Structure 1
Amino acid sequence: MKITLRLIKYMRPYLGKIILSMIAMAGVGLMTGASAWLIKPAMDKIFIAKDETMIYLIPIAIITVFVLKGIFRYSQGYLMKYTEEHVVMKIREELVEHLHKLPMSFSEKWKTGELMSRVTNDINKLQSSISTFATLVLQIFNIIALIAVVILQNWKLGIIATIVLPVAVIPIVHFGKKLRRVGRKTQESVADMMNILQEEISGIKTIQAFLKEKTMLERFKRINRRYYDVTMKAARSSLISSPITEAIGAVGLAIVIWMGGKEVINGTMTPGAFSSFIAASMMLYDPAKRLTNANNSIQQGLAAAERVFFIMDIKPEIENKANSVTLRNNPELIEFSHTYMKYNKEERYVLKDLSFSVKKGQKVAIVGPTGAGKTSMADLMLRFYDPEKGSVLFDHKDIRSFTLESLRDKISIVTQDIFLFNDTIANNISFGNNEITFEAIKQVALAAYADRFIERLPEKYNTLIGDRGTRLSGGERQRISIARAILKNSPILILDEATSALDSMAEEIVQRAIDNLMKNRTVFIIAHRLSTIRNADFIVVLNDGKIEAIGNHNALLERSVLYKRLHELQVNAKNSC
């Protein structure tokens, strides 16, 4: 019931159109009843009484009834479709907007395919159920009109015919509950299948390189078979309800024909009235049967709605506080003050008692072995996560006191794992900012040493670069990312292993682009390669989430055992090459 009420809230803005649609549905029902009623005068007045006037009037009446029925049906269909599309569009947009607000921990726990399934398949099921709900209401109006016809023709037979309807509803209710349970399992199986497909399509190069096509196919077959089993279970429940409803209706119709036939023979009922009665009765069971199918679809839609609203009800862990203020000035001082962090409440701390400060315009390098907590520091500054204890301060103010939008506006980040969209180079650099001119895009591409390779492409800045930029090399993708960061022009820059995946030649070009990017900014350089951070104002050495030492390159070679070991390992590796 809660799910239904929640869906009704989304429909409230379209109440006027829904009311007009209901009126049109009533019109369809009225015309359906009228079409059954016209059989009586057609039989009695034309074929039995031989009334010539009726030969002209009744055909005109029949045409009028069906034309009006068509107008009413189109009106109700269009109005409900308008409402349905707007409601679903609103839910889908709210779901995606909510996904954008959820923390990194949510994205790390949930599978991409599962989320895609909820945004697409589940909402499609929900949309189908809203459309079917309109069909259900229409059939109710048809049933009311046809019941009126059968009772007006013969109230005794009418009562018998209508008594069967409540009995026919029993299987609808029983199988509807079952379908809702099965519907949830069906949607879960679809989500599993989409997740497998997403992984296999994204990882096709790895699959082929390791000759694992058969292994991955078997994995997909298992999920596909599970989906087949659940779908067939749903089909059995859905398909059996309609024959049961029809069988119950047939029993009622047989009784009515037997009793009605006796009344015609006895002369207490005219053949026309009986024909009209039979036609209305037979027409009555068709909407009753459609109610069964409508209920099946609605139950599956409600199961899908539960899955959609489950995601929408997850509370964002990182959000603006009630008294958040806008961060307007570029920070003169950035501090980590006794900062502790963990990615999950049950896990160990990944950062422990971090304390150091960075002045405006300084370049600070963060180094340490894998898993030391280097990237976690960047996550804290961008508020992808909040500290468990301690704080990160801008000008002695906790960054949690600033709005997320203004905080993140002050920070640019370039990472090793560059994410580019399947769009043009120009749009990837501007990143949705429609106010940026082409001249500005070209200027930042020049600063990022990207203009030369872009100009060699067939469509230049309008070249589509493929999913995640697969048509570009690693160095080219990195330079697009740097151009994007230059264009954002934030006063704080985070370079997270920005050149670690590049070869020496590509690294040299990218490093020149990074040098342009770092000008007049406060920079945090997270790096494995110590050769890239020698010119930093100071270096923070992390080990197991704690600061082991702080100083410049030469000082750390003397004071930090870990830094000296890292340096020696890299020097030896370089010499061995």
Structure 2
Amino acid sequence: MSHFKALKGFFFRNKWYYILGIIWLLLVDVLQLLIPEVLRRFTDQLQANTLSNEDIIRYGIYIISIGFGIAFFRFLWRIYIIGTSRKLEYELRNKLFGHLLKLSTNYYTNHKTGDLMAHATNDINAVRMALGPGIVMMTDAIFITLIAITMMATTTDWRLTILALLPLPFLAFTIGKFGKVINVRFKAVQESFSSLTDTVQENFSGIRVIKSFVQEDSEIKKFSVKNQHVYDKNMAMVKLFGMFFPFVQFMSALSFLIVVGYGGTLVIYGDISLGDFIAFEAYLALLVWPMMAIGWVINVLQRGSASMERINTILDEQPEVVDQPDAIDHKDIKGDIEFNNVSFKYPNSNEDALKNFTLSISSGTSIGVIGKTGSGKTTIATLLLRLFDANEGIISIDGNALNKVQLRSIRSQIGYVDQDSFLFSTTIAENIAFGVDECSKEEIIRTAKIAEVHDNIVGFPDGYETFVGERGVTLSGGQKQRISIARALIKKPKILVLDDALSAVDTDTEERILSSLKDAMKESTSIIIAHRISTIKDSDKIIVMDNGEIVEEGTHNELLENRKLYFEIYQKQLLEEKIAQD
């Protein structure tokens, strides 16, 4: 139960819901325990031939009243206990989701989506079951067991009670052993489900690749293997319960056998009345459920504990990139950027993505970045956004070290368009307005026109209200890129970073977009990362990257005159264009 300590704040806030719920539950149990007493008196009067029509009506009223009371208080404990467990599920899922969004980018490179989805669904549900129905069954098991045994011993015969309860110690010992095995097997079930979920998510996300490579049958076979693994682990749990519950019922039957044998003898010899025997049997019948519930409770608590342990592992994770205690809120960034001897290695990599990287960018200027794949171009944007922190050196904005400025302050004033151009499963208008709290339809249209995507959007049947499929699957690559550019521009950023954001558009559209951007961003700093020279040739300054270092810098014409790497790239692209035209 130590794993549930993380929820102590929730328990403190909702303690009265649980307390009142348990009170209503105990009242239900008390009413259930009254039924054997009614049966005892009814049977004794029936045996003594003293039962009248009025007595029958009176006992009937007792039973009906008890039934109404049980129904009423059962409704209340369900609202208070089960309802509170649903609230716990709601708050825990919000807490987990919020925490996951605050974790650093590196966390998601080491954890699969399917596994995280399993935490947010199955694990949270297991915790809810433990702290809702689990509490109910545990309370029932303890209270009914204690009171029923007390009533059996004090109102009937203590010797009969001891004999009837002889199987219980052995039952409790066996249940404890079962509980440990249940915990291990449930963890295995959850892990197999996580793997299956991850496979499904990955296949759905990559459905176009699967179809284009005609790999449907192959992926179905892989899924079947994972699905078989889930089936096997669940069957291991089923087999365990297949033995467990019949065992509990068998031990209960032994108790009834003892009561029928010895209790019947006591009735025959007149040591107890027939009413006592009937009441005793009724109490023993009430004990059967707690015996079953003990096993069920142990199972649910073990599952909940295992799931809470998995959730705690995530909640204990701390983001690697955080605000320093003395971080400032730089509300009005001008756009002066400086990299000073910056070196950086991605986690789990032995190679430097950037090595002693030094670069100054004046506010209001545009800089183009070009180089071979893996030369470190994207890393510049990654470090500027503080998705990772540099291993060595200092990055500053307007003279302030980047790690001394609040993350929200930095990121809210940088417009970033990455290579993937990720879009959310919502309307085009909502995708464009994603980075701002409020904006008008006119503002959305204005930025869409700058990004040269307005004409495409109005050509759709629903225009800006067109629903974009998952990850923008219903749009072309160029449309996604241009909508992503509009999403960055609507923030009115002080710094704009385009990371190969025009690779999917033709050169004519690219030229129009760059021309519009030049007017829209004339007072802002622009960093344009590209593979095509045509994208960056008009930048105020161009740097050429290779193996994490700047190997050339200057204007387009200056770099062509150097006749080095930039010139080689330029010549290759001219040749490619000529071949394409022919």
TM-score with structure 1 setting the length: 0.96
Provide the C-alpha distance between the structure 2 equivalents of 1:506 and 1:121, rounded to a whole number of angstroms: 48
Provide the C-alpha distance between the structure 1 equivalents of 2:477 and 2:521, rounded to a whole number of angstroms: 20
Provide the C-alpha distance between the structure 2 equivalents of 1:219 and 1:68, rounded to a whole number of angstroms: 55
Provide the C-alpha distance between the structure 2 equivalents of 1:318 and 1:206, rounded to a whole number of angstroms: 34
2:381 maps to what in 1?
378
Provide the C-alpha distance between the structure 2 equivalents of 1:238 and 1:574, rounded to a whole number of angstroms: 69
Provide the C-alpha distance between the structure 1 equivalents of 2:162 and 2:512, rounded to a whole number of angstroms: 88
What is the CA distance between 1:389 and its match in structure 2? 0.4
Map 1:493-504 to 2 at 5 A.
493-504=496-507
Map 1:394-405 to 2 at 5 A.
394-405=397-408
Q: What is the identity, as a one-letter code, of the residue corresponding to 2:181?
A: K
Provide the C-alpha distance between the structure 2 equivalents of 1:518 and 1:332, rounded to a whole number of angstroms: 11
Q: Percent identity, aligned pairs only?
A: 32
2:143 maps to what in 1?
141
1:15 maps to what in 2?
15
Provide the C-alpha distance between the structure 2 equivalents of 1:49 and 1:13, rounded to a whole number of angstroms: 57
Map 1:507-546 to 2 at 5 A.
507-508=510-511, 510-512=513-515, 514-515=517-518, 517-546=520-549
What is the CA distance between 1:560 and its match in structure 2? 6.0
2:184 maps to what in 1?
181
- C-alpha distance 531-126 of structure 1, shift in aligned 2 (>3 A): same
Kindly indicate whether the alpha-carbon contact (under 8 Å) linking 2:435 and 2:488 is maintained by their aligned counterparts in 1.
no
What is the CA distance between 1:281 and its match in structure 2? 0.5
2:49 maps to what in 1?
49
> Which structure 2 segments of 5+ residues have no match?
none
SS at match of 1:327: coil
* Structure 1 residue 111 corresponds to structure 2 residue 115: no
Q: What is the identity, as a one-letter code, of the residue corresponding to 2:12?
A: R
Map 1:306-321 to 2 at 5 A.
306-321=309-324
* Structure 1 residue 247 corresponds to structure 2 residue 233: no
Provide the C-alpha distance between the structure 2 equivalents of 1:142 and 1:334, rounded to a whole number of angstroms: 72
What is the CA distance between 1:65 and its match in structure 2? 1.0
Provide the C-alpha distance between the structure 1 equivalents of 2:350 and 2:103, rounded to a whole number of angstroms: 20
2:73 maps to what in 1?
72
SS at match of 1:276: helix
2:286 to 263, 283, 298: 283
Q: What is the identity, as a one-letter code, of the residue corresponding to 1:18?
A: Y
Higher mean C-alpha displacement, 276-285 vs 384-393: 276-285
1:150 maps to what in 2?
152
- C-alpha distance 439-341 of structure 1, shift in aligned 2 (>3 A): same
2:85 maps to what in 1?
84
2:299 maps to what in 1?
296
Higher mean C-alpha displacement, 463-472 vs 529-538: 463-472
Higher mean C-alpha displacement, 423-432 vs 273-282: 423-432
Kindly indicate whether the alpha-carbon contact (under 8 Å) linking 2:93 and 2:120 is maintained by their aligned counterparts in 1.
yes
Q: What is the identity, as a one-letter code, of the residue corresponding to 1:73?
A: R
What is the CA distance between 1:166 and its match in structure 2? 3.1
- C-alpha distance 436-504 of structure 1, shift in aligned 2 (>3 A): same
Q: Deviations over 1:206-230 (max 9, x none)?
A: 2122121121111111111111111
1:333 to 331, 336, 339: 336
- C-alpha distance 508-563 of structure 1, shift in aligned 2 (>3 A): closer
1:25 maps to what in 2?
25
- C-alpha distance 476-515 of structure 1, shift in aligned 2 (>3 A): farther
Q: What is the identity, as a one-letter code, of the residue corresponding to 1:4?
A: F
What is the CA distance between 1:110 and its match in structure 2? 1.5
* Structure 1 residue 561 corresponds to structure 2 residue 564: yes
What is the CA distance between 1:13 and its match in structure 2? 1.1
Provide the C-alpha distance between the structure 1 equivalents of 2:288 and 2:427, rounded to a whole number of angstroms: 57
SS at match of 1:431: helix
What is the CA distance between 1:33 and its match in structure 2? 0.7
Provide the C-alpha distance between the structure 1 equivalents of 2:141 and 2:519, rounded to a whole number of angstroms: 69
2:362 maps to what in 1?
359
2:172 maps to what in 1?
169
Kindly indicate whether the alpha-carbon contact (under 8 Å) linking 1:325 and 1:403 is maintained by their aligned counterparts in 2.
yes
Q: What is the identity, as a one-letter code, of the residue corresponding to 1:314?
A: E
What is the CA distance between 1:109 and its match in structure 2? 1.8
Provide the C-alpha distance between the structure 2 equivalents of 1:506 and 1:258, rounded to a whole number of angstroms: 94
Provide the C-alpha distance between the structure 2 equivalents of 1:509 and 1:108, rounded to a whole number of angstroms: 36
Kindly indicate whether the alpha-carbon contact (under 8 Å) linking 1:479 and 1:513 is maintained by their aligned counterparts in 2.
no
- C-alpha distance 158-517 of structure 1, shift in aligned 2 (>3 A): farther
SS at match of 1:488: coil
2:123 maps to what in 1?
122
Aligned CA-pair RMSD = 1.8
1:272 maps to what in 2?
275
What is the CA distance between 1:448 and its match in structure 2? 2.7
What is the CA distance between 1:469 and its match in structure 2? 1.6
Higher mean C-alpha displacement, 491-500 vs 218-227: 218-227
- C-alpha distance 380-434 of structure 1, shift in aligned 2 (>3 A): closer
Provide the C-alpha distance between the structure 2 equivalents of 1:340 and 1:404, rounded to a whole number of angstroms: 20
Q: Deviations over 1:231-258 (max 9, x none)?
A: 1111122231212222222222211221
Q: What is the identity, as a one-letter code, of the residue corresponding to 1:211?
A: V
Q: Deviations over 1:163-195 (max 9, x none)?
A: 433332222211111111111111110011011
Higher mean C-alpha displacement, 264-273 vs 508-517: 508-517
Q: What is the identity, as a one-letter code, of the residue corresponding to 2:400?
A: K
Provide the C-alpha distance between the structure 1 equivalents of 2:435 and 2:332, rounded to a whole number of angstroms: 24
Kindly indicate whether the alpha-carbon contact (under 8 Å) linking 2:334 and 2:524 is maintained by their aligned counterparts in 1.
no
Higher mean C-alpha displacement, 43-52 vs 285-294: 43-52
Kindly indicate whether the alpha-carbon contact (under 8 Å) linking 1:11 and 1:87 is maintained by their aligned counterparts in 2.
no
* Structure 1 residue 209 corresponds to structure 2 residue 212: yes
Provide the C-alpha distance between the structure 2 equivalents of 1:252 and 1:38, rounded to a whole number of angstroms: 23
Q: Deviations over 1:415-446 (max 9, x none)?
A: 23111111111211111745323333233223
- C-alpha distance 529-208 of structure 1, shift in aligned 2 (>3 A): same
